[in-house]
A and B are shown apart, each in its own frame.
Chain A
């Protein structure tokens, strides 16, 4: 995304969709549900300086993948964590939004844990939600054993951090043949109950692996029952939804809810519908690969309901 978007003229039910999946970093400022985007620069940096806290998002590390365009996703994940460690302001925690591994194998999970231990940020507080690649064959038993928060049997959880309510949702289990991501009745009932005591002024940040809106259902990029979750979130003045899964940045604003998908630290995927399948973009040359990969940092300014979201490509 290269331009500043100003959607003051758009109604509450209107939405804006824009895309940035390569190139320079972007600073996103969300104010009362309106997204403003700026390319990273001195002005954007100055705006981020008054943050009271920040956190970083990494996603789709796909440890175990071994083909073009990235035969060594461990190296690029290590580089992404080094980038988090190099941030001028130390983030309070790191969020990994799923597909830690490629095949849910114990050795792949162990590699992720090892790489985390090599990083200052990774040794600190890290919160995870699984991707569909992390729950193959065992419904996520190995994932939850190593990385789960254990608040509920289903694996979902919430916590409050310096005035912001965070919710981690699981939308990669019990998927139906022919369907998309799935939350399920039990999780939705929990979400409704979890949000009920909060005032509408509380900033809410929801994270899950698969996109929480119908981004491109033909490739499975959406969640079957996300509309019900959004129904519970609509009353809040500021809701941010962070996802992974599609290995590129896509944003959408719907009322006061802003959706962001993240880059992968392993390999890019094509833009929706650009190509026959949602597989790895094999045509990316080694010298260009890191410009498609990256991390995200999010800063919160106390007393404002805005979260500033900054994208950083790896090269």
Chain B
């Protein structure tokens, strides 16, 4: 095995494999414009999208969550039960901080460029 291949394998074991093992939600969150709510966290915690992008939140928890802009920059979602989605379109560039008012320790950011 060449040195490069060994390095690649080590990197896969160190980073890739545990991430894959953690849960499939990580893969789903990699979809552009999609934020998974899982284990009381917004994932990714910071999402960067182009102007005009549609962003979708999906609640994967048994607990209800809600998406609320910290300073009223976009309309809040309704209470999202398990499996519910919330979609909003970001038409202006900026940094949008949001949180779950049911569990205010859950915070996230959408950066629109």
Residues of A whose CB lies within 8 Å of any CB of B are: 67-68, 102-105, 132-133, 136-137, 175-180, 217-220, 276-280, 282
Number of B residues, CB within 8 Å of A: 22
Residues A282 and B102 in contact in the complex (CB < 8 Å), given A103-B81, A104-B79 = no
Q: Which of A105, A177, A220 has the most CB of B within 10 A?
A: A177
Question: How many A-B contacts if CB must be within 8 Å?
Answer: 62
Q: Smallest CB–CB gap between B64 and chain A, Å?
A: 5
- List the one stretch of B4-12, B13-21, B45-53, B103-111 in contact with chain A: B103-111
Closest to B97 in A: A177
Q: Smallest CB–CB gap between B40 and chain A, Å?
A: 5
B64 touches A133 (CB 8 A): yes
Residues on A with C-beta less than 8 A from B70 are: 177
Residues on A with C-beta less than 8 A from B76 are: 137
Q: Secondary structure of the B side of the interface?
A: loop
B104 touches A175 (CB 8 A): yes
Q: Smallest CB–CB gap between A172 and chain B, Å?
A: 9
Residues of B whose CB lies within 8 Å of any CB of A are: 39-40, 61-64, 66, 70, 76, 78-79, 81-82, 97-99, 101-105, 107
A136 touches B79 (CB 8 A): yes
Q: Smallest CB–CB gap between A74 and chain B, Å?
A: 17
A177 touches B104 (CB 8 A): yes
Report the separation of the CA atoms of residues A276 and B81 in the bound assembly, to the nearest whole angstrom: 20
The 8 Å CB contact of A220, one of B61, B66, B82, B105, is B105
A280 touches B101 (CB 8 A): no
A279 touches B40 (CB 8 A): yes
Residues A175 and B101 in contact in the complex (CB < 8 Å), given A137-B66, A279-B61 = yes
Closest to A275 in B: B39
Report the separation of the CA atoms of residues A217 and B105 in the bound assembly, to the nearest whole angstrom: 9
Report the separation of the CA atoms of residues A102 and B66 in the bound assembly, to the nearest whole angstrom: 12
B82 touches A178 (CB 8 A): no
A177 touches B62 (CB 8 A): no
Q: Smallest CB–CB gap between B98 and chain A, Å?
A: 8
Q: Smallest CB–CB gap between B59 and chain A, Å?
A: 12
B79 touches A279 (CB 8 A): no
Q: Smallest CB–CB gap between A66 and chain B, Å?
A: 9
A178 touches B39 (CB 8 A): no
Residues A179 and B104 in contact in the complex (CB < 8 Å), given A67-B82, A136-B79, A277-B40 = yes
Residues on A with C-beta less than 8 A from B82 are: 67
Closest to A173 in B: B101
